[in-house]
Amino acid sequence: MSLRLLLPEEGVTELLTSWPDEPRVYDRGQPALDEVVSAESVRGYLYMGTAPAHEIAAVKAPNPSLSQNAYMTDGRTDRAKLVRLYEQGYTIRLGNLQRVVPALAGISEAIQTETGYSNYIHAFLTPPGHQGLRHHWDQQMAVIVQIAGTKRWQLWRPPVTAPMREYNESFRVWKDEYIPTWEAVGPDMEIDLKAGQSLLLPRGWVHNPHVLASGQHSIHLTFAIRERTRMWLAEKLLAGAIEQEAFRRIVRPYQLCGESLVQQLAYVREALVQYVQGLDLYEMAPDIIKDAQTELEYRT
């Protein structure tokens, strides 16, 4: 069981076949995931102070995340400090649960086997009437799974095309006028995500999640699914070029400027074209499938 723990059958089918580019809300319709990760277990992870400090973030809009020193003592997570911050209105993010919770590690691995995409799992705990992160967009599909309470998601259409890591990430191309402009026109969608529901949030969609003052404490899990891109395939095509001696030759200092550099670039471009045209794609395909299902980290 993998995506079917997060979405009903129709949601899984839509995700795997069309990979939606607009948000979708689904009723999960089964308690299986909630039995694996309950509100009580997530709260326990917070209140027992067992989360690694480097995987925690404490943020209260409109301010940036606090320094780790705010919830650490002697280099470790200090649960009393963490709980105090939560009581003061901070959202607590418990990051990369797939690295420390065996059941979630199994779900994460199954999702990668099913999709070919690596992924990570964050938990967000937000008290009533408060907000953690403000408007931003992400560079991968997210499945937001509401575990407890209700969270309001204000959504705007992507201001950039096909963001990916190190390209069109929100913090890299941010403009000061973004938030005033978005707030002036209002969101393109507004969703009150309730416990038992899941939200598909495609990459690039601006989101401004918060908990209403009259609401309950909110807990949700974000399953961030890192799509493979054609850039990733291009890297796979070129990965074996290192085995050819021509690509390991030194580029001398004088060849890194002026006309000499242009000549070197032309030579390498031609060599790359010849190399790629000589590849046996059917021979490479099984290894790339294996990489898709096992590589955990990514650059593109």
- Average pLDDT, stretch 207-213? 94
pLDDT in tens, 58-79: 999 999 999 999 999 998 999 9
Tally Cβ neighbours within 10 Å of residue 82: 24
Residue 236 pLDDT = 96
Give the 3-state secondary structure of the chain: CCHHHCCCHHHHHHHHHHCCCCCEEEECCCCHHHHHCCHHHHHHHHHCCCCCHHHEEEECCCCCCCCHHHHEECCEECHHHHHHHHHCCCEEEECCHHHCCHHHHHHHHHHHHHHCCCEEEEEEEECCCCCCCCCECCCCEEEEEEEECEEEEEEECCCCCCCECCECCCCCCCCCCHHHHHHHHCCCEEEEEECCEEEEECCCCEEEEECCCCCCCEEEEEEEECCCCHHHHHHHHHHHHHHCHHHHCCCCHHHHCHHHHHHHHHHHHHHHHHHHHCCCHHHHHHHHHHHHHHCCCCCC
- Average pLDDT, stretch 217-229? 95
Residue 36 pLDDT = 83
- Average pLDDT, stretch 191-214? 95
pLDDT of residue 248 exceeding 80: yes
Q: Domain locations in the chain? A: 3-227, 231-294
pLDDT bucket at 121, cuts 50 / 70 / 90: very high
Q: What Cα–Cα distance (Å) separates residue 299 from each residue in 54, 59, 109, 231, 295?
A: 21, 26, 19, 10, 11
Residue 297 pLDDT = 75
Structure tokens at 258: 């002026």
pLDDT in tens, 29-58: 766 787 788 899 999 888 888 889 999 999
- Average pLDDT, stretch 222-234? 95
pLDDT in tens, 142-163: 999 999 999 999 999 999 999 9
pLDDT bucket at 298, cuts 50 / 70 / 90: low
- Please give the CATH topology (third level) of the domain spanning 3-227: Jelly Rolls (2.60.120)
Which of these, 115, 117, 103, lies nearest to 296 by C-alpha position? 117
Residue 125 pLDDT = 97
Residue 1 pLDDT = 61
pLDDT of residue 294 exceeding 70: yes
Its pTM stands at 0.92
